[in-house]
Structure 1
Amino acid sequence: MSKFGVLVMGPAGAGKSTFCTALIQHLQNNKRPCYYVNLDPAAEEFAFEPDIDIKDLISLEDVMEEMSLGPNGGLIYCFEFLLENLDFLTDPLEEVTDEYLIIFDMPGQIELYTHVPILPNLVKHLMRGSLNINMCAAYLLESTFIIDRPKFFAGTLSAMSAMLMLEMPHVNILSKMDLVKGRVAKRDLKRFLNPDADLVDEDPSWRPGKDQEELEEGRTDGDPASTKNVMAGTSFYRLNKAVAQLIDDFSMVSFLKLDAQDEDSVGAVLSYIDDAIQYHEAQEPKEPRDDIDTNIIESAMGD
């Protein structure tokens, strides 16, 4: 019997824990059971108490203190330790039935998803091992990135890298949509939801006169290694155009909008997650309860 889960991930500050909280609340409001797994060894406060908390096994603070490691090295050590003690996850998850949605709340260091093989190994254990969890990734990117187009395409590239690395169904999400309300026209927003490489050419910070002339003549504005020119000018434009074109050519990444304060928005994202993991297809038809049948009959007789 399959189980069902979602891996909530993305860069730091993208709103992963907020989304997990909103998702759990939405599931509870709809009488649907869920199972909350915290895999962030640095997390301290929770709106809902996790059913499994990696800090009961190992914490980032202890690792940094005892191993004299920084945050990133300490986090990688925590996950390597988890992989050596997978019974910590496997044993309690064995008891979870197919009615539950298992929510994995992940840390914000994107190297775990983009180029370190630790998380792919964990995903294989969860999806292909004895647990047999039908799982998808929900990759969150903060919607304010669309105000800074180079940052948006860098974030989109990280999402695509995670998709290729993890080899699992993906749902990509622009979170905190309430922060950009009224700042981006609806027509332009659609082009960010399905990233359009031409957005780089329309970047307000791109100087179409001077920069375009330099681009056509093959000139650059001074030393490309200088602080001023690393994040501006023709060389920077070429880099961002190449990144945007790569994303456009693969046509793998598209985004859903999320406002975690809006239950309809959370429900819409959940419907995509359910489709990705084929949740509803595996559910058995439920018999109507006797008390509901009686009420319907009595109501019909009254009419």
Structure 2
Amino acid sequence: MSKFGTVVMGPAGAGKTTFCSALIQHLRHNRRSCYYVNLDPAAEDFVFEPDVDIKELISLDDVMDEMGLGPNGGLIYCFEFLLENLDFLTDSLETVTEEYLIVIDMPGQIELYTHVPVLPALVKHLSRGSLNINLCAAYLLEATFIVDRPKFFAGTLSAMSAMLMLELPHVNVLSKMDLVKGTVAKRDLKRFLDADAGLLDEDNTHRSLAFEPAGDGDMVVPVEAGDPSAPRQAGDPFARLNRAVAKLIDDFGMVSFLQLDVQNEDSVGAILSYIDDAIQYHEAQEPREPNDDIDMDPSTYMD
């Protein structure tokens, strides 16, 4: 039988572990079983203790100390080591049954989701062979990105890159919505949720740099876009680049976002419903009688 799980991904600071904790809490409130897997070798504090923790196999601190690597290189090393020791995951996950939702918490290094082939290899191992886990990727992007529109589209591009690289059912989420409440009009917010490229054309508030010759032909000095002193012919290369990125996202038409406020259980439940639909969780569950979850004392039926 298939197993079911979600891989929680996104850049550092997006609130992945916080979302995992809120999701597990919601599952427990609804009397659903879950299995928590931490694959962040630098994570330390958890609301719920992981059932499987990569730090029992390898930790980022040990790698950095012993191998002399930095945080990014050390994390890549950790995942390459994990791929060489996949029995660490297989042995634990083989016993998980179909009524569980496996929640996999990933680290925040964006290289894992964009161009390093480590994560696709891990996903293939989890979704095929003896484990056969129906996986859905949940990609979190911090909602504060929408305050800076070019930054938002850069984050959206990373989400699209992960979708293309992993080839999984994908749910994109704007997390920490409570931090931007009241700062963006509802009409504009809907356009962010659909990643509307036209938002950049209407953006006169973001700051970007053009470059002006310093006089000797070899040096350049930055000037702020829109500065009257900036030469017209210099243009705004960053604005053109931003629009090119937004057009690329618009041409693919793959990315849209759901809203998440982890303080709101209905919001967490809505994200879970999308994940369940993507992995077809409910279709695989055994039908239940209405009173299956109710423990009744037989004596109450006796006169």
Normalised to the residue count of structure 2, the TM-score between the two structures is 0.89
Q: Does 1:177 align with 2:177?
A: yes
Contact 2:5-2:134 within 8 A present in 1 as well: yes
Name the counterpart of 1:269.
Answer: 271
Higher helix share: 1
For 1:110-160, what per-residue CA distance to the aligned partner results, in whole angstroms no more than 9, with x for missing partners? 100110000000000000121000001000000000000010000000000
Name the counterpart of 2:222.
Answer: 228
The Cα of 1:286 is off from its aligned counterpart by 1.1
For 1:19-78, what per-residue CA distance to the aligned partner results, in whole angstroms no more than 9, with x for missing partners? 000000000000000000000000010000000000000000000000000000000000
What is the rounded CA distance, in whole Å, between the counterparts of 1:174 and 1:188 in structure 2? 14
Unaligned runs of 5+ in 1: 212-219
Q: 1:240 aligns with which of 238, 242, 263?
A: 242
User: Match for 1:58: what amino acid?
Assistant: I
Contact 1:223-1:229 within 8 A present in 2 as well: no
Name the counterpart of 2:61.
Answer: 61
Name the counterpart of 1:102.
Answer: 102
For 1:192-216, what per-residue CA distance to the aligned partner results, in whole angstroms no more than 9, with x for missing partners? 0001111111113269xxx9xxxxx
Q: Does 1:146 align with 2:156?
A: no
Name the counterpart of 1:281.
Answer: 283
User: Match for 2:49: what amino acid?
Assistant: E
Contact 2:211-2:222 within 8 A present in 1 as well: no
Q: 1:262 to 1:222 in 2, by over 3 A?
A: same
Contact 1:229-1:236 within 8 A present in 2 as well: no
SS at match of 1:183: coil
Name the counterpart of 1:214.
Answer: none
The Cα of 1:291 is off from its aligned counterpart by 8.6
Name the counterpart of 2:232.
Answer: none
Q: For residues 162-201 of structure 1, what are the structure 2 equivalents within 5 Å?
A: 162-201=162-201
Normalised to the residue count of structure 1, the TM-score between the two structures is 0.89
For 1:256-295, what per-residue CA distance to the aligned partner results, in whole angstroms no more than 9, with x for missing partners? 0000110000000000000110101111101233795979
SS at match of 2:108: coil
Name the counterpart of 1:217.
Answer: none
What is the rounded CA distance, in whole Å, between the counterparts of 2:150 and 2:37 in structure 1? 33
Contact 1:64-1:71 within 8 A present in 2 as well: yes
Q: CA RMSD in A?
A: 2.3
Unaligned runs of 5+ in 2: 227-234
Contact 1:36-1:102 within 8 A present in 2 as well: yes
